[in-house]
Amino acid sequence: MDWYAHTLPNRAKADWEPLRKHLELVAQTAHGFGAHLIADGSAAAFARTLGLLHDAGKYAQAFQDYLSTLKGKRRRVDHSSAGAVYALERYKDHAGWMLAYAVAGHHAGLPDGGGGETGSLRHRIMASPSAAAARAGFMAEIAPLLPDRLPPVTLRDGFQASLFVRMLFSCLTDADALATEGFSDPETAAERGHAPDLDTLGAALDLYLTGKMEAAKAQGDSSVNRIREEVLEHCRAAAAKPPGVFSLAVPTGGGKTLSSLAFALSHVRHHRERGLRRVIYVIPYLSIIEQTAQEFRDRVFGGLPGAVVEHHCAYRPPQDENGKDAEEGNGSDRHKLAAENWDAPVIVTTAVQFFESFFAGRPSRCRKLHNVAGSVIVLDEAQLLPVPHLRPCLAVLRELVECYGCTVLLCTATQPALGKDQPLDFGLPDITPIVQKPERLHKAMRRVRVEHVGPLDDAALVGHLSEAPQALCVVDTRPHAADLFRLLKQSGVEGVRHLSAAMCAEHRSAVLDAIREDLKHKRPCRVVSTQLVEAGVDVSFPLVMRAMAGLDSVAQSAGRCNRNGELGEGARGAVLVFDTDRALKLADLNRRRDKAREVLYDRDWDEALDPAVLESYFRALYAAGGKGRNSDGSDPFDVCGAWAAFGRAGRIEALPFREVSERFRVIDDDQLAVITPYTEAACGWAAALRMAERPAALARKLQRHTVSLPRSRALRLLAAGTVQAVGPDKQFLVLADKGAYDDELGLTARDPRDRSEDENIL
């Protein structure tokens, strides 16, 4: 009998894909992916075995009948459970369970091991009718190809075991997706790859850095330029050191973004024989990821298509004159394809995307993970690693370095105490600083003075901002920022602008461009913003005002003041920290404010940015978190219980993959995205979305035109008719009342009950 894996409508049976051919192709591809996972290559045998097992259930006659039913609705046939059954039958030790998780989940997602509850791996194995139905065909064609035994794997605990399973799962799901695409859509498959090699990228970066330094010198020698050149030299020298964990603590404006890229790319090239092969740049906020990716893609590697993949929820590739995605200039969407599995030499992504993927269960989220192995992972603004998830995030980084051939670079303007026992007993061991004695750099680049000015109400804030031709004021909440903006406008001062996440990404980008033009041409420019402006946004003001916050936030706001030494050699900008009764009162923010006051109790506030003071602040902050449990009993460093859940599992057959994937969120995801009509193009796309049967392409185009709202607020606006649900499954929310989106403030719609400040702080 002939057995088939896939067919397509209107294809003769002779053109269907033979099942054995598909299984062998997936096994071969997965084997190649697995070979990169760990140094001894043992994962390759597991990955190849998964490829042979994953579609074993398709040898059941019911599935073959399913393929033959080309008309009408087809009843789905479980073809994933059979391979899990065969894995456990053939491999009696832990290997069988590791294979079974990945095979059973390669379509629906990694299951919990569990007991007999519906959906658990154990239940699926016990209740699988396809295992018996497919056995004869599978045993005849595939069983002889399976290895008798698999290499022994020593797993220290449940967390380490879960990551190994998830990495194998990634090898399988990516190999399966690529093989299926090759059969069903060979034109798309041919668009993959085509990225420049590492040496070409290294030469492009060197050329760009040389040109940048020469241009800076042409404008005159300065201490800032000398320090940037020194930092770059340190990074290039450190690149030859063995892979591990590094830190780059450089004051804001010291050129750490490009210097860290130089380290990462040079480090990959130095250690190619060890399996290093790409750079992954992890950035905390969407507000800065776009400017970083644009600089890498358009300026550093300009003219090298495929060099950089920008992967986050708000990214939409540039379009050609016909409205088609034209990342590569030829109408094809190679960027989207590379984002599916991170098959590119340089990846720029968010901390949310990166860390949540390591606790996800869906194939689409896990597919890229095997390509993280052998990477240099640059954590930009490492001090912003989320404290409530610090334990599982650091555990992932530690495993990637110790087991999967990665190097981690903690890149920061401050000094987060992330080393082991400093004071975190789960911190990262053996961190190598690239720049020794960062306090020397801080003194040389001291471009601001910090002062605590006590309580200021809104009228006083407006007075300060009105007197300064160019100033930035950073507050905690959207309502506070909007109110200050309105007061400034009413006062009649010029150049007033607003920034918050109440504005869609397209809107924020336009305002930032306008702000930079105002600053460049010395025009009046008073900006009121939430903290989204802090982390790496390339703007520079002579005066910055910051609502009282943790020293990490104060340092980030200070980085927007006299950033490039514009006030002249030796001159310092002013950073004024003020108290306000409109501060957002969340436990974590309160703890940070308290620790800032505690550390600076007997110090001058002008010492707030000294490296030793910042390190003391982080030590105090982390030590406070480690003293006990939260009020709800959760671990302050693992509030979702992701690390603890795998630790409690105890047995390989009880790993809670689905439970953890549903609970682990780097940020509170109880938000809904509302599509806003910021541009005429967005209005047209939103209108088309109402009638689209296949809305995915339109939804991608509208990602930069969305605003996230707390679920409760979004639902109230939906009930009031301000927002409407559209799409074939009513899955998209569109702002129906165009008057509710202000050209300066963004989404201003508010329900009468919504009077509090408890909104998204951005």
Neighbours of 492 (CB within 10 A): 8
Q: Convert the pLDDT of each residue in 677-722 to its tens digit.
A: 899 999 999 889 888 888 878 887 888 899 988 888 888 999 999 9
The tokens describing 163, both together, are 């990551």
Interhelix angle 611-625/551-558, nearest 10 degrees: 140
Cα distances (Å, whole numbers) of residue 30 to 6, 101, 359: 19, 16, 21
How much is the average pLDDT of 124-145? Answer: 89
Name the architecture of domain 199-441: 3-Layer(aba) Sandwich (3.40)
Cα distances (Å, whole numbers) of residue 475 to 283, 458, 479, 532, 584: 22, 11, 10, 10, 9
Q: Which of these, 486, 555, 565, 564, lies nearest to 526 by C-alpha position?
A: 486
Q: What is the pLDDT of residue 93?
A: 83
* The pLDDT of residue 137 is above 90: yes
* The pLDDT of residue 316 is above 70: no
The tokens describing 164, both together, are 């190994």
Give the pairing of strands 4-6 and 17-18: antiparallel
Locate tokens 């062998």: which residue? 24
In three-state secondary structure terms, 707 is strand
pLDDT greater at residue 317 or residue 185: 185
In three-state secondary structure terms, 466 is helix
The Cα 270–Cα 407 span in angstroms is 12
Give the pairing of strands 723-726 and 732-735: antiparallel
The Cα 19–Cα 25 span in angstroms is 10
With cut-offs at 50, 70 and 90, classify the pLDDT of residue 757: very low
Q: What is the pLDDT of residue 671?
A: 78
Judge contact between 412 and 658, C-beta under 8 A.
no
Q: What are phi and psi of 477, to 5 degrees?
A: -125, 155
* The pLDDT of residue 5 is above 60: yes
* The pLDDT of residue 488 is above 90: yes
Judge contact between 80 and 54, C-beta under 8 A.
yes
The Cα 436–Cα 674 span in angstroms is 47
Judge contact between 105 and 361, C-beta under 8 A.
yes
Q: What is the pLDDT of residue 648?
A: 85
Interhelix angle 286-294/505-520, nearest 10 degrees: 70
Neighbours of 149 (CB within 10 A): 12
With cut-offs at 50, 70 and 90, classify the pLDDT of residue 330: very low
Contact partners, residue 284, CB within 8 Å, separation at least 6: 350, 351, 380, 381, 384, 535
The Cα 404–Cα 36 span in angstroms is 8
pLDDT greater at residue 119 or residue 475: 475
With cut-offs at 50, 70 and 90, classify the pLDDT of residue 331: very low
624, containing H or E segment: helix 611-625
Mean pLDDT score of the chain? 87
Question: Lowest-confidence range among 97-106, 171-180, 748-757?
Answer: 748-757
Q: What is the pLDDT of residue 116?
A: 60
* The pLDDT of residue 286 is above 70: no
Same fold, 4-190 and 199-441: no
Helix residue spans in 219-332 (DSSP H)? 223-238, 256-270, 286-294
**Bond before 423 cis per omega within 30 degrees:** yes
Using a pLDDT cut of 90, give the percent of the chain over it. Answer: 55
Locate tokens 């506030």: which residue? 605
* The pLDDT of residue 71 is above 70: no
Question: Lowest-confidence range among 59-73, 551-565, 707-721?
Answer: 59-73
The Cα 197–Cα 345 span in angstroms is 8
- What's at 59, amino acid-wise? Y
Contact partners, residue 608, CB within 8 Å, separation at least 6: 450, 551, 554, 555, 577, 596, 600, 614
The tokens describing 428, both together, are 């990262």
Q: Convert the pLDDT of each residue in 388-446 to its tens digit.
A: 899 999 999 999 999 999 999 999 877 778 888 878 889 999 999 999 877 788 887 78
Burial class (CB in 10 A: 0-12, 13-18, 19+), 203: exposed
Burial 504-540 (b: 16+ CB within 10 A, else e): bbbbbbebbeebeebbeeeeebbbbbbbbbbbbbbbb
Q: What is the pLDDT of residue 412?
A: 86
CATH class given for the domain over 4-190: mainly alpha
Q: Convert the pLDDT of each residue in 207-258 to its tens digit.
A: 999 998 888 888 776 777 888 899 999 999 999 999 999 999 888 778 889 9
- What's at 30, amino acid-wise? A
* Radius of gyration of the chain from its Cα atoms, rounded to whole angstroms: 27
Domain ranges of the chain: 4-190, 199-441, 447-608, 671-747
CA 6 to chain centre: 34
- What's at 618, amino acid-wise? F
Full-model pTM? 0.89
Q: What is the pLDDT of residue 527?
A: 97
Q: Convert the pLDDT of each residue in 455-468 to its tens digit.
A: 999 999 999 999 99
How much is the average pLDDT of 363-381? Answer: 95
Cα distances (Å, whole numbers) of residue 300 to 196, 253, 294, 728: 13, 18, 9, 42
Q: What is the DSSP letter of 310?
A: E
Q: What is the pLDDT of residue 625?
A: 66
pLDDT greater at residue 280 or residue 191: 280
Q: Which of these, 510, 547, 545, lies nearest to 527 by C-alpha position?
A: 545
- 428 strand-pairing partners: 419
With cut-offs at 50, 70 and 90, classify the pLDDT of residue 21: very high
Question: Lowest-confidence range among 66-80, 84-98, 267-281?
Answer: 66-80
Q: What is the pLDDT of residue 287?
A: 61
Cα distances (Å, whole numbers) of residue 343 to 85, 400, 499, 677: 32, 18, 34, 34
Note every long-range contact of 61-66, with CB atoms under 8 Å and residues 24 or more positions apart, other chains counting: 61/133, 62/130, 62/133, 63/130, 63/134, 64/3, 64/4
With cut-offs at 50, 70 and 90, classify the pLDDT of residue 738: confident
How much is the average pLDDT of 604-617? Answer: 90
In three-state secondary structure terms, 684 is helix
Q: Which of these, 333, 403, 422, 427, lies nearest to 697 by C-alpha position?
A: 333
With cut-offs at 50, 70 and 90, classify the pLDDT of residue 328: very low
Q: Which fold has domain 447-608?
A: Rossmann fold (3.40.50)
Q: What are phi and psi of 287, to 5 degrees?
A: -65, -25
- What's at 349, amino acid-wise? T
* The pLDDT of residue 644 is above 80: yes
The Cα 658–Cα 74 span in angstroms is 27
